[in-house]
């Protein structure tokens, strides 16, 4: 049962990577493959971000981040269980329904048009708003991309096999490949699949351009409540994904997500992605990147986790590794074991209480948790992710801190076995995905050092 589950679920990954390479060759994609395509990730609350609010307090930002993460949890879950009754969750499930954590900064076309797209490892199409556009958002960062004035824009015939792999890809009356990317509950992005020059730039490394990148030119968007992004940068493993067009590798490095001014957060595509550190098997299940969580330690103490559910279903303890949720969400048994140990260490000294179903204490992370041991997530094949105090807890208000690891099942029993490793646990790490080798790497590093 176990083996079957893993084998079946990793097939699409093998297939799609191989296929994408073939397709890429057919398209003569690759003029010159740059060795390192790197761009800064823009923090939602950074002063250069369209989401920046000058009157926000730190607590306001934290609140928004946690709300966005709840929407994200439901989005990830709903992709797996589309029939799950999500009416009791208050959010629209489009990745933009609540604000993103990071935006990808790049340009498209010639002359280049700047873009700020939502980084989404849960979907596999890069799409941007294209003129003429129906119900598109106002472009705060500049004019909208207009394919009719770009010299590097190419249309893709709907006879091209790629068209079949685009979301609802099909021919229109003029043989263009049209797509319709629907989201779980949000309104779709509808447009044509085309090719264009994508330019990544960073002030330190100059710019790098890649020609003939397959993307969605979106001429019709849902009436999003959030109108500040210019598209979605899908980092999923599907055939149309930018990742598959560029060597099937990518990595990101996030410093401190509580610090919007930290300027070394970055995304790297292609061969230059930094594949170092521990590695663990990576699979794609239901369109999500997943790893096997074998255990958790607090300091030197390995937690005793009740294995009952896993023994019964024969499944491994799988966890989605995600870049769109800040906290980590754990399956019930893992969470209970972890909470027990946290309370064991803290309840004698601090006042615990539940705030919206999550464990919090009165106090300050910087003062009251000195000496709290590091928590380690142990992944298959000996890969350890060490979560220190600043990643385990967050300051919710000036006098209250809460655990940044949460129990997903507070939203219903369907989430009982659902685990998602969020971005806070990945802080201070470079996280690299190799889709050909089916490996996820993580290396503890100061992101600033990657620029050298
Ligand atoms: C903060 O500013 C935004 C717009 O910039 C405004 O809509 C909001 O009401 C302000 N909030 C407070 C608490 O002043
Ligand atoms: C896109 O797909 C959605 C969901 O299937 C559908 O409701 C909508 O009408 C489609 N839009 C277009 C323009 O095809
Ligand atoms: C995006 O990158 C370009 C090139 O490095 C830079 O000039 C621009 O300021 C960046 N945009 C934002 C919002 O940071």
Atom nearest to 55 CA in ligand 1: 1
Question: 39, 202 in Cβ contact below 8 A?
Answer: yes
How much distance in Å is there from the Cα of 19 to the middle of ligand 3? 33
Confidence of residue 138 (pLDDT cuts 50, 70, 90): low
Give the per-residue pLDDT at 184: 61
Which of the pair, 452 or 188, is modelled with greater confidence?
188
How much distance in Å is there from the Cα of 188 to the middle of ligand 2? 7
The CA distance from 134 to 313, in Å, is 47
Token couple for 291 = 């790893």
What average pLDDT does the segment 346-373 reach? 94
Q: State whether residue 203 is helix, strand or coil.
A: coil
**Which of 131-140, 268-277, 317-326 shows the lowest mean pLDDT across its residues?**
131-140
- Mind listing the domains of the chain with CATH numbers? 17-269 (2.40.70.10), 278-451 (2.40.70.10)
Give the per-residue pLDDT at 140: 66
* Ligand 3 lined by 201 (C-beta under 6 Å): yes
Pocket of ligand 1 (CB under 6 A): 53, 55
**Residues in contact with 93: Cβ distance below 8 Å, sequence separation at least 6, in sequence order:** 71, 74, 75, 78, 86, 183, 184, 185, 186
**Residue 131 CB neighbours (<10 A):** 16
How much distance in Å is there from the Cα of 181 to the middle of ligand 2? 8
Confidence of residue 364 (pLDDT cuts 50, 70, 90): very high
Atom nearest to 42 CA in ligand 3: 14
Handedness of CA 333, 339, 345, 347 (dihedral sign): negative
Q: State whether residue 277 is helix, strand or coil.
A: coil
Q: Which of 50, 51, 53, 60 to mutate to test the pocket of ligand 1 (most atoms within 8 A of CB)?
A: 53
Confidence of residue 324 (pLDDT cuts 50, 70, 90): confident
Question: Phi and psi of 165, rounded to 5°?
Answer: -100, -5
Nearest CA to ligand 3 atom 5: 202
Q: How far is CA 81 from the centre of its chain?
A: 19
Which of the pair, 36 or 120, is modelled with greater confidence?
120
**Residue 59 CB neighbours (<10 A):** 13
Q: State whether residue 25 is helix, strand or coil.
A: helix
Pocket of ligand 2 (CB under 6 A): 180, 182, 188, 190
Q: Which of 167, 177, 180 to mutate to test the pocket of ligand 2 (most atoms within 8 A of CB)?
A: 180
How much distance in Å is there from the Cα of 105 to the middle of ligand 3? 6
How much distance in Å is there from the Cα of 182 to the middle of ligand 2? 7
The CA distance from 423 to 409, in Å, is 19
With b for 16 or more beta-carbon neighbours within 10 A and e for fewer, the 218-256 pattern comes to: bbbbbebebebbbbbbbbbbbbbbbbbbbbbbbbbbbbb
Residue 89 has pLDDT above 80, yes or no: no
**Residues in contact with 268: Cβ distance below 8 Å, sequence separation at least 6, in sequence order:** 36, 37, 38, 250, 251, 252, 274, 450
What average pLDDT does the segment 125-148 reach? 84
Question: 332, 409 in Cβ contact below 8 A?
Answer: yes
Give the per-residue pLDDT at 312: 53
Atom nearest to 53 CA in ligand 1: 5
Q: Which helix (H) or strand (E) holds 59?
A: helix 58-80
Closest CA to 432 of 247, 260, 225, 277: 277
Looking at residue 210, the DSSP 8-state letter turns out to be: E
């Amino acid at each position: 049962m176990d083996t079957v589950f893993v084998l079946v679920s990793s097939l699409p990954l093998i297939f799609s990577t191989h296929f994408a390479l073939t397709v890429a060759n057919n398209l003569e994609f690759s003029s010159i493959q740059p060795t390192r395509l790197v761009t800064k990730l823009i923090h939602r609350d950074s002063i250069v971000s369209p989401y920046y609010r000058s009157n926000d307090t730190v607590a306001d930002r934290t609140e928004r981040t946690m709300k966005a993460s709840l929407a994200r949890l439901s989005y990830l879950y709903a992709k797996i269980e589309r029939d799950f009754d999500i009416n009791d969750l208050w959010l629209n499930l489009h990745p933009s329904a609540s604000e993103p954590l990071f935006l990808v900064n790049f340009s498209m076309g010639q002359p280049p048009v700047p873009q700020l797209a939502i980084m989404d490892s849960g979907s596999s199409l890069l799409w941007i708003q294209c003129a003429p556009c129906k119900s598109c958002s106002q472009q705060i960062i500049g004019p909208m991309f207009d394919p009719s004035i770009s010299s590097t824009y190419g249309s893709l015939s709907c006879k091209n096999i790629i068209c079949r792999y685009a979301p609802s890809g099909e021919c229109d009356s003029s043989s263009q490949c049209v797509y319709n990317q629907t989201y779980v509950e949000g309104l779709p992005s509808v447009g044509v699949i085309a090719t264009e020059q994508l330019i990544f730039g960073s002030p330190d490394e100059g710019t790098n351009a890649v020609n003939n990148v397959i993307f969605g030119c979106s001429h019709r968007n849902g009436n999003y409540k959030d109108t500040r992004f210019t598209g979605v940068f899908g980092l999923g493993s599907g055939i149309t994904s930018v990742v598959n067009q560029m060597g099937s590798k990518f990595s990101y490095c996030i410093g401190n997500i509580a610090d919007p001014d930290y300027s070394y957060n970055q995304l790297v595509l292609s061969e230059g992605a930094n594949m170092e550190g521990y590695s663990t098997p990576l699979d794609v299940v239901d369109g999500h990147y997943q790893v096997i969580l074998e255990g958790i330690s607090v300091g030197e103490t390995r937690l005793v986790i009740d294995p009952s559910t896993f023994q019964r279903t024969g499944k491994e303890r799988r966890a989605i590794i995600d870049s769109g949720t800040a906290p980590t969400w754990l399956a019930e048994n893992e969470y209970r074991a972890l909470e027990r140990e946290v309370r064991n260490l803290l309840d004698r000294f601090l006042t615990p209480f539940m705030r919206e179903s999550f464990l919090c204490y009165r106090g300050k992370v910087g003062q009251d948790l000195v000496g709290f041991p590091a928590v380690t997530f142990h992944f298959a094949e000996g890969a350890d992710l060490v979560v220190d105090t600043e990643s385990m807890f967050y300051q919710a208000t000036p006098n209250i801190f809460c655990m940044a690891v949460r129990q997903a099942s507070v939203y219903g029993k369907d989430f009982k076995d659902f685990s998602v490793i969020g971005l806070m646990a990945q802080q201070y790490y470079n996280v690299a995905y190799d889709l050909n080798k089916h490996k996820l790497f993580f290396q503890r590093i100061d992101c600033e050092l990657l620029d050298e």
